[in-house]
Amino acid sequence: MRTFFSLRLLLIVSAFLAFSSCAFAQFGVAISVGFAPPELPVYEQPICPAEGYIWTPGYWAWDGDDYYWVPGTWILAPEVGYFWTPPYWGWGGSAFVFHEGYWGPVVGFYGGINYGFGYFGHGYEGGRWDNGHFFYNREVNNVNVTVIHNVYNTRITNINQTRVSYNGGQGGINARPTSQEEAATRERHIPPVAAQNEHIQAARGNQELRASVNHGRPPIAATPKAADFRTDVKPATSAAHYDPPPRGANNTPAASNARNTAIHPNELPPHERPPAPNTGNPKLDQKYQQQQEKLYQQQQQEHQKLQQKQDQEHQKLAKQQASEAQKQQVEQRHQQQTQQMEQKHAQQQEHMVQHQQPPHQAPPPPPSPHQAEPKH
């Protein structure tokens, strides 16, 4: 009986750890990739299903060894007065860091990415709340006025027509948060709702949505309902050809996965120092380089400190002759600590790189003739 009870307890603990690992992978804070996501595909927006639904644009997500497309879809707002801030990828100095989207009373910063359909880089031009009802801008939304009467028409101009899907880094969008967007980060937020999480899981499990399979042109680019990939779906109509970098080269999934799966700091590849600043002002460049070196040394010390703490916990487990289930629990906690530290470091590096960009940048080149424009 005792053996049966111990085995049952071990199975319960193992199942709990497996669930925790899955949940942490989805909602965790340590998602970074060594190479840029594909550009955004062009697609049509499905018709809005009912009043109160807000468009959540499609984006490229990461699943350990490949980017995959999460189709755009309509989602019922979790609260009256709330808007969706889309997720985005931002260059963190040594890797591309994923920033998860959220619901809130104000649209926050989403990297300056032009997702189309009202999300043109800053704010949201697709609709507004008025007396508890959401009013849709028909210039950028596909709305059936016989079903939804809360509509208006406002044409949006001066849009940067680009399909780039990430902020910062080589070829990335050069945008910084406005004061209003910075304030939005301090507002009350709601994470992606259950329908969105189900939608993400369905996209992750669909091989056709993998960038290595569709080469940047997903066959399911948008859906009218979350997680429904069969009814009235919209395929991508245009996208640049995409080939992922070869395995084992610099800035490939091999290096990125080491960061995403590392359990202890000593298993992480070393941080790369950011490139030397080049603002055109030698004194300012020297100041920025000193700031970079200071941050690098600080992060190295944090690596060492966390490693020492985890080593002490390993020694304590050995003295206590801990069970395998106890060891697994500690290792799970160590992995979370390590990945949380890496996310913090990546965000620090991204913030520093953005802060040290020259104040005046050349305007982006006009889109090539073959690139389609987003609906607006």
Helices (H) and strands (E) in the chain, counts: 7, 16
Whether the per-residue pLDDT at 8 is higher than 80: the answer is no
The pLDDT assigned to 246 comes to 58
Question: Residue 264 — pLDDT band, cuts 50, 70, 90?
Answer: confident
Whether the per-residue pLDDT at 30 is higher than 70: the answer is no
Pick from 237, 172, 167, 213: nearest CA to 69: 213
**325-329 long-range CB contacts below 8 Å, 24 or more apart?**
325/9, 325/10, 325/13, 325/14, 328/13, 328/14, 328/17, 329/13, 329/17
Tell me the C-alpha distance between 361 and 173, whole Å.
11
Taking residues 205-233, what's their average pLDDT? 96
* Average pLDDT along the chain: 82
Show the DSSP H helices in the chain as ranges: 2-27, 179-184, 194-204, 211-214, 253-261, 282-320, 324-355
Q: What percent of the chain is modeled with pLDDT above 90?
A: 48
Cα 129 versus chain centre, distance? 26
Tell me the C-alpha distance between 331 and 310, whole Å.
9
The pLDDT assigned to 92 comes to 80
- Residue-wise over 8-21: b if at least 16 C-beta within 10 A, else e? eeeeebeeeeeeee
Over residues 314-369, the pLDDT tens digits come to 888 888 888 877 877 787 788 778 878 887 888 887 777 777 766 544 445 555 44
Cβ–Cβ < 8 Å for 220, 208 = yes
Pick from 227, 224, 231: nearest CA to 205: 227
Over residues 302-314, the pLDDT tens digits come to 988 999 999 898 8
Tell me the C-alpha distance between 204 and 211, whole Å.
11
Taking residues 235-240, what's their average pLDDT? 84
The pLDDT assigned to 327 comes to 78
Burial class (CB in 10 A: 0-12, 13-18, 19+), 248: exposed
Residues written for the chain: 376
The pLDDT assigned to 364 comes to 52
The pLDDT assigned to 332 comes to 75
Whether the per-residue pLDDT at 270 is higher than 50: the answer is yes
The pLDDT assigned to 284 comes to 87
Pick from 303, 286, 298: nearest CA to 338: 303
Tell me the domain boundaries of the chain: 19-376
Over residues 61-116, the pLDDT tens digits come to 998 889 999 999 999 999 999 999 999 999 887 788 899 999 999 999 999 999 99
Over residues 128-174, the pLDDT tens digits come to 999 999 999 999 999 999 999 999 999 998 888 899 999 998 889 99
